[in-house]
Amino acid sequence: MTAQQLAAAIGGTVIGDPSISASKISGIEKAHAGNISFLGNLKYKKYLSDCQASIILVPADTKEDPQPGQAYILLEDVMSGMQQLSVRLNQRTSNTIISKHSTVGETAFLSNDISLGHYSIVEDGAKIGSRTQIHGQVYVGENVQIGEDCILYPGVKIYHDCVIGDRVIIHSNAVIGSDGFGYAFSNGQYNKIHQLGNVIIEQDVEIGSNTVIDRAAFNSTIIKKGVKLDNLIQIAHNVEIGSHTVMAAQSGVAGSAKVGTHCQIGGQVAIVGHIEVADKSQIQGKSGVASDIKDMNKKWYGYPAMPFYQYLKSYAVFKKLPDLARELRELHKLIDKIKH
């Protein structure tokens, strides 16, 4: 598309040649002619003057002029423009074909316009909504409900009785509805508490590869609308993740914890069970949350997690501990000399 067409589509203003065209997105440091690039993070501004992309999305307050044969598109929010552009360029065709190598239970209901890949299994009582794409080697258990316009990538496993809303994307090898980690200790051994609940995933959720969401012991583990979970995340039984919360890779939430709405949780964060995390909490990577977070819209860092700026002040002292210890030993020696 031309720069003018792109600007009209994403609500930007063209500076430079409006007729120049491009068709592929590339990072600003490696882009070349025919590419569309973007300056979404000012950390990369040093690459702007030498970038060879034909069209570059830049912040509205950019003062630099494009090179000859190049166009800038000025945007108030570059990453929002990139998101809109990615939608336009992701025009994949979907086949409405039920593979002859798939297996469908007699009482399962499949909408007419879904796709079901090779060696996938849909058990009895399952229901799959319109335009949903199920790739190869996916398992859909008994009485599972899957909404419209969902995508299940190869190897996804959904256990019995789970409920998946509309427009949910689940990436390869994620497991939904496995047993929660529940045992009762008696007579010197751990005895299994059977997990009789399910998992409910609301609309517009995306779940990364190899993420596992356990079914509840008796009620439901709930992932609310708009949640985005990265790869390799563990969500334990009876957990509730509030709407539009995002969580980065290798994080874990223990049983019966409740995470609020619009939270941002970094990678390798651990949240203990039976606590509540307030709405709009921002938890930095590798932090450990060991008790309730009651104040909304606060930043947290450390293990155990503490207010962000308090942690930074504490760390500034902590990294000087060897020097402080040496100075303390020297003071002790000096005091001993004075005493004697």
Contact between 117 and 43 under an 8 Å Cβ cutoff? The reply is no
- CA separation for the pair 244, 265 (Å, rounded): 12
151/122 Cα distance (integer angstroms): 15
Cα gap 250→89, rounded to integer Å? 30
Residue with tokens 């500076």: 15
CB 162 within 8 A of CB 199: yes
Which helix (H) or strand (E) is 192 found in, with range?
strand 189-192
Radius of gyration of the chain (CA): 26
| Interatomic CA distance for residues 102 and 141, integer angstroms | 14
Residues 6+ apart with CB under 8 A from 318: none
| 45 DSSP 8-state letter | G
Any idea which residues carry the catalytic annotation?
Answer: 237
